[in-house]
Amino acid sequence: MMNLSPVDWLIMAVYFIFVLGIGVVLKRQTRTSEDFFEAGKSIPAWVCGLAFISANLGAQEVIGMAGSGAKYGIAMAQFYWLGAIPAMIFVGLFMMPFYYGSKARSVPEYLRLRFDEKTRGLNAISFAMMTVLSSGVSMYAMAKLIQTLHLFDGLFTALGLPLSGIFFFSILLSALIVLGYIFFGGLTSAIYNEVLQFFLIVAGFFPLVWLGLRDVGGWAGLQANLDSKMVHTWVGMSNPNTNSLGVEVFGMAMGLGFVLSFGYWCTDFLVVQRAMAADSMTSARRTPLIAAIPKMFFPFLVILPGLIAIAPNSSRLMKPDNVAQVTLVPVKMDTAGQPVINPQTKQPEPDYDLVIPTLLLHYFPPGLLGLGLTALLASFMSGMAGNVTAFNTVWTYDIYQAYINKKASDEHYLWMGRMATVFGIAFSMAAAYMATAFNNIMDLLQLVFAFVNAPLFATFLLGMFWRRATGHGAFTGLVAGTLAAAAHHGLTIGGGKGGWLGTVLHTYPSEMAQNFWTAIYAWVVCFAVTIAVSLVTRPRPDEELVGLVYSLTEKPRESHLTFWQRPSVLAVIVLLMATGLNLYFY
Full DSSP string of 265-281: HHH-HHHHHHHHTBSSH
- pLDDT, averaged per 10 consecutive residues of the chain (586 residues), comes to 80 90 88 91 92 81 83 86 92 89 89 94 92 84 79 85 87 88 91 90 92 88 81 71 76 88 89 92 93 92 90 52 58 74 76 84 87 86 86 94 91 94 90 63 77 92 94 96 95 86 88 91 97 96 90 80 83 92 81
Report pLDDT for 317: 45
| CATH numeric code, 6-16+39-334+350-584 | 1.20.1730.10
CB atoms near residue 29 (< 10 Å): 14
| H or E element, residue 424 | helix 410-431
199-221: b (≥16 Cβ within 10 Å) or e: ebbeebbeebbebbbebbeeeeb
DSSP state at residue 560:
T
Report pLDDT for 76: 86
Report pLDDT for 478: 96
Q: For residue 45, which phi and psi values (nearest 5 degrees)?
A: -60, -40
How far apart are the C-alpha atoms of 49 and 10, rounded to whole Å?
Answer: 30
How far apart are the C-alpha atoms of 446 and 487, rounded to whole Å?
Answer: 16
Q: Strand 492-494 and strand 506-508: pairing?
A: parallel
How far apart are the C-alpha atoms of 482 and 283, rounded to whole Å?
Answer: 34
Domain coordinates of the chain in residue numbers?
6-16+39-334+350-584
How far apart are the C-alpha atoms of 444 and 446, rounded to whole Å?
Answer: 6
Q: For residue 66, which phi and psi values (nearest 5 degrees)?
A: -65, -45
DSSP state at residue 332:
P
Report pLDDT for 417: 94
CA Rg value for the chain: 23
Helix, strand, or coil (residue 468): coil
Q: Which of 11, 1, 368, 8 is nearest to 153 (CA)?
A: 1
How far apart are the C-alpha atoms of 275 and 58, rounded to whole Å?
Answer: 18
Report pLDDT for 116: 93
Residues 6 or more apart in contact with residue 291 via CB below 8 angstroms = 49, 50, 52, 53, 88
CB atoms near residue 325 (< 10 Å): 12
> Are 302 and 65 spatial neighbours (Cβ–Cβ below 8 Å)?
yes
Helix, strand, or coil (residue 493): strand
Q: Which of 520, 391, 549, 547 is nearest to 450 (CA)?
A: 520
How far apart are the C-alpha atoms of 44 and 192, rounded to whole Å?
Answer: 11
By the 10 Å C-beta count (0-12 exposed, 13-18 middle, 19+ buried), 399 is classed as middle
Please give the single-letter amino acid code of residue 243: N
